[in-house]
A and B are shown apart, each in its own frame.
Chain A
């Protein structure tokens, strides 16, 4: 298809397929996308700056609120960064508990995503069923941590709550139910012709492109690249727990669904192992409120991929600089590549395919409204610019 003329179609920042504001401009030839221009920066929340104004303890809860879905990944990453600065070793029971919560969160995030993917292609029944069964894992999380979404389990130096022996049977029975259900969904998804029609060979990302464009997480693994922070740079208890890194050679949206579903099964295995082999002992060590000067970087495999936090301390009780690189940001170039050559109707499902979490990744973008030009400032220029703005008003 192609009528020779190229039409520009804006997509977002307000669009029902996007749960968060972000704008993509598609250049469309007939029904085929020939170019994509992402424009990020609609939902910048200034969290990094806010972190500089709060104490290390308060920042745990701020870090947790970077993302409502991978809240635990962010606190784990934050706490690891600060623990490195403080040079404290987390007790090994705490490490196991962190692993359990992280994997429970992965199950909840992935099942949420599979439901969204089904919704994007109009399969609302699957979406409702998945979310109904996802309640099981939400209940487990609520019952272990005290909240459904913001678990507040991590703290600098360990975890705040223990997983007691009485909790384990309940967790296990929930896991058994989930395992059965997830297998049922894998079966449903891979046998339903309408789903296959909409996902197989849609949004293809070749392994070479995936690596070159620095894709992360399930998006990368669905292109057949074995890469997982949990294996490559183990944190928490992942060096002691045996598990497989799930990959799939499909490279399309269907492969991304299957990778996520199988990762859920793998997570269930990890949790079972961790609960069984949980060492006894303390769950946290007390740490000082003031952090010695230094810099640290910590990495965590969030449900969406590799998450990086960077902290710089100047020896006070507040960080001097903090930086978060969430997985969605790393996946944006790969997303643009996937969208190339797709049908317009496939935009929602391909976009959803990377499991985007735009608010977590947003950066400030300075755009001249008159010329539509995008600028990058260094600090000096930025300060002068701000002063100029203030003088004007």
Chain B
């Protein structure tokens, strides 16, 4: 009994739980920074650790040690608690993702719905965080992020449903198992859905061309403007976890997830795949200019939602199953 509890604790807190996930999140930030830097013909992080791989951790530690300023006029309770919620939401969601094998640490039928719910909650936390800061930049940023959610939420949910329909289950682990047992990745069956999910995650992650809520030249750091010190550190970590979550979800839903390939352990294939997806995100991030919020929303409704619906229709019509 004790042994079991200890194992569970170890799994939750260290491997493949919180500590491991946070480490992975830092590494994905490093991959992202490095790729963007290289595209821009820069080095990116370079001196902290081999090729600067420890730089995100160093940044995090540095922010932890900085003064934590709470400006006058902020909605104190929300302002204090929102970074923690933001960070823990992404972390919680990651527990539902099968990383080590085809079954996740936490899994139940219907966890996909839970994930959609969490991704909405994250945006709502962002909105609250910005709105509680009482700075005009933060408020504009949070309104923009809420507006942006109106644009990407529906196509994102539809892109979640696509693989679920094909696999006939609402559990993420089930979808991964289905892909492994059929020996095919969903991306080949539903390429449209894959494109839609990538674009929606770019919007959720606030990456260029959808970095509208934190457009530096327009509204400083957007909804994050007033945060500093520990709170900012948590927000940044939360953002890294969100990046990891987005790529892990894409991998599990569309790229076969933690799949054993001959002697390579499933965890390793999974890692390779998520870093590939992070790479894709960074590539997109570097290749565009920022849209305006009205352009973004109308583009989402006019182009992305029809595409997502078309994908669902194709699945129902049994094309590519």
Interface residues of A (CB under 8 A from B): 9, 15-17, 31, 118-126, 128-129, 132, 192, 194-195, 197-198, 343-348
Contacts and interface: CB of A to CB of B under 8 A. Distances in A.
Contact of A122 (B36, B39, B290): B290
Interface in B208-242: 208-209, 211-212, 215-218, 220
Nearest to A195: B289
Given A16-B220, A129-B40, A124 B208 contact: yes
A121 B217 CA distance: 8
B288 interface: yes
Contacts of B291: 194, 197-198
Contacts of B118: none
Nearest to B220: A16
B24 interface: no
B286 interface: yes
Interface in B186-226: 208-209, 211-212, 215-218, 220
Contact of A118 (B212, B218, B289): B289
A119 B218 CA distance: 11
A339 to B, nearest CB: 14
Interface stretch (B1-9, B11-19, B175-183, B292-300): B292-300
Contacts of A125: 36, 39-40, 286-287
B289 A17 contact: no
A125 B286 CA distance: 6
Interface in B270-320: 286-295
A379 B287 CA distance: 55
Contacts of B288: 122-123, 192, 194
B40 A194 contact: no
Contacts of B48: none
Interface in B31-69: 36, 39-42
A195 B290 CA distance: 8
A119 B290 CA distance: 10
B302 to A, nearest CB: 13
A132 B42 CA distance: 10
Contacts of B40: 124-125, 128-129
B41 A122 contact: no
B289 A192 contact: yes
Q: Determine the main DSSP class of A at the interface with B.
A: helix
Nearest to A351: B217
A128 B211 contact: no
A116 to B, nearest CB: 9
B32 to A, nearest CB: 13
Interface in B245-291: 286-291
Contact of A343 (B39, B42, B209, B294): B294
A120 to B, nearest CB: 5
Contacts of B212: 345
B42 A122 contact: no
Interface core residue of B40, B209, B217, B288 (most chain A CB under 10 Å) = B217
A119 B216 CA distance: 9
Contacts of A15: 220
A31 B294 contact: yes
B136 A9 contact: yes
B217 A119 contact: yes
14 contacts: A16-B216, A16-B220, A31-B294, A121-B289, A122-B209, A122-B216, A122-B288, A123-B288, A123-B289, A124-B208, A124-B286, A128-B42, A197-B295, A343-B294
A122 B291 CA distance: 9
Given A16-B217, A120-B217, A125-B286, 12 more contacts: A9-B136, A118-B289, A121-B290, A122-B290, A123-B288, A123-B289, A128-B42, A198-B292, A343-B292, A343-B294, A345-B293, A348-B218
Contacts of A348: 217-218
B228 to A, nearest CB: 16
The 7 nearest A-B residue pairs measured at CB: A122-B290, A128-B40, A123-B289, A194-B289, A17-B217, A121-B289, A348-B217
Interface string B139-155: 01000000000000000
Contacts of A16: 216-217, 220
A9 B137 CA distance: 11
B41 to A, nearest CB: 5
